[in-house]
Structure 1
């Protein structure tokens, strides 16, 4: 959430102006303003040197406190972004949200826009309450527009009309101002051009273009010349004799297209062709053919110390290289056999790849079932149930702190997760459905993932999101402290006498839980490493972490309180100046079932229609301590 309220607060005196959003009560804004004034005065007098968020920039020097932010409040905490203009603080109030820090920067931008409005209204940085009172109505309406979000273009137009035009023009000139400054035309000017463009497009689609008959006939004649037959010239000569008396078309194709292409100046085959060829060759020198010995194959011999090793023979039929070195170009090498150099008797080679051929020839052994009959391997595989549709579940985390037997503080945070069908199964189709939430009377705050979820009112919501392989968190909520149920009530008591430290943890389960808690772990943080210890019942001691751990299998719902006792010896030398030893206990548990801890449930939007499937909800302990 961005800025909730804007205010003008002088350094001395009451507040001048307060502008809030519709859903933010002005009483809470006044509480935040009062806390800011008290914080500012406390820093100015030097009574408080440590702020809650470590911000020590507020002081009695105005330049040191010209701008910044500070967290105020104890029960209801707010973040106040401030800027000091002369003697007036321009304040922006927002919530303390650690998960989303974008609201801080948006609030700073709104405060800067409010400073521009104040400076323009006072015609300079000499901002005083008297000058603000003269333009109070204009400043009030301008800050109201700025609080709800305004662009830089409209802000500039508002500042320009702050002293000249009326308030109504400042409020109602949003669309015209944007269009004028961006240079865009209004729809009245564009409508005529749009109608003309549509009529031109319609006329163009109805037009047809046809070639004249003369052009088509000329194309047919050219195509006839490209695909000629053997009797084509004879037929054309007869047609030419018949058409001599016909008047020729001046635009007809030329007769040269029908003539054959002449080669070498009209060279024709006749009986005298051989004699002409002999006359042409008579003036050329013809080389004599090589002797018959030159056509024989060439042999390159290789001689060694022990005689002739053979050689490679090259001839017109090819080379004898593949025959002499058989298999040298194969994939596995080949060509050499070590058995030729060992003995005259060659070693019998094994067939196949040394036993691997059994993998191909032998049949696969059939699996046997428990009763001895053969069963297929596919029947033995446990098949997971496929998703029928989108699935939703709730994950909650409970935090509690007990001081002796009293509950100091408690908080419950919950997240609603959506698990869509895999993208491969849906073909990247979006998941869209509606659902409603029951049992949300004790919810303190709801936060939605606005890009995927929208509220329909009456605790009904609509989901539209792309498919994902991982669960998507779509909503978060927190419960009021008085409406938060406690799974366990824990009590820690200690007694230190002399060198003996006795500690007892007492716990009892909530009888209204949906089911008993299982696998609960109690951890006791010890102040020192014990040399001697007695525990009841049995526990695990971790000396490196100085911890005692009890693991309880199951805690009954309607049972009597159970005690965990520990007694350790403490050396006086390990105490720090006789200070009291601090002992802290932690509890860890988790649960998964059909019901949630808070009582919130997800329901179908319409009866008789299954838009999603609700799977097992879960809750676990966060910071669950007792001291």
Structure 2
């Protein structure tokens, strides 16, 4: 079941044959074959030599693995959005291809199907000299044989198919080997006509499957006697004189249901039955079994069930207690102690104030004597002590003035993980230019050139032609009037295989009964130059939880049904996990799967970018712009 499609593709030319399963669309199979052809042609030794290898381009053999033109067999993963694993074998100039998913647990079944298809091609061409002309001559036989191979075939039936490849009747190719394996093992004798033997065997199977048998009456009677013998003997009737005698059903039917009962004239002991009064007036039971006759007595609950139930209200900063059923008043006062004030209570302002006493101030003129009356305020110092404090340190720090145009890069990383596999990834970057303010520029235009490095992984790039022009070889020229806000002058996107991942995520979900357990595992990228800080993990819950247990502590937003973990620091080389457990109303046996989605938000700022792209001046040592700190942040970073 691992092989989804089988195909025959010549080294040069259109596809010869494609055989797919019923549920696998042929369009997706054709896309996989086209991607295999492009991969084979792009990584051919001739194409790589013609195009010329650059120093910054990666090695093609390291990206693909085996070279399809140099190896007679192998496997390769193709495709960008939809990825497929293609197992190939080269027979002369014909590629025999098997298409399957890249995450298949058993890839050897697809390899086995490709090997059996190679045997069919060799038998149809009468040798290993396979050409498209020879395949077209035996196209119906090859088509029917590959259809049987795709659905699974044994060694005995494959041998029968190969022996019938050059016969005159195609029906013998399909129906002659239905019971071939049974005949090889000696289960049935060989017959002269394979088709007649096959049809007779099928007719016999259908006849026996529709026959019904009835058990004889003697067998049914013997079964009833055996069942009666296994039952326990009936209990003998009790002759207890204290037990009141039941009236005959005939008498009950003849009497009027609204007539007065005869028990009115009987003494009091007869009315209450087996109960008698003691001296203290308490009723005693002489025969408990007689008193409880005809009543269903339920078993008593275990002793643990009689204890008060404790429901813990676990806070995210500590344990706040709970409420016990059966002891509500005492537990309520303990659980909500300190919250009965007007503004919540439970806080003491003295905890946040330093209790150290300040020394009393010396009498003076309100502190004016601390300032010197010198004409230069920059040299004003304190009159007490030997240390001198400039007056500028007492003022608000000023922002550093711009000395020239500034450039920086903002990148956004998007990724989607399905369990532990990366399904989609993308990185978008924007280069911003901040010119001098119009007041400081005095009407002059900003004009300079810069250079981009490490751009081999860029898939697509666009620039704002009104202010940026390309000089080729990675150099660009900027000319724009001064503006107050930053100007986005260029945007780019990276290829998925060159996109670095700051975090790898894995979402594990388990729904057993009415209990849902979710765990998020994360591991930082050890190649990052700086560790991630202030990372927020968000888990979207399917329902609003009533009882929730999380590890470590988190914040729950019931309005949006989100659970947030804030991790202040994610050091390199250390993995972590976040767990949550809650009961849900939906049972796992009902079939509906609950949808749980995890998201991550993070941002970092530094001297380098996440993609490795850097800004450089055109001439070494002559910088016409200032490079400020770059920033990268998460966009749609999901784990499903």
TM-score normalised over the length of structure 2? 0.40
Q: Which structure has the larger Rg?
A: 1
TM-score normalised over the length of structure 1? 0.41
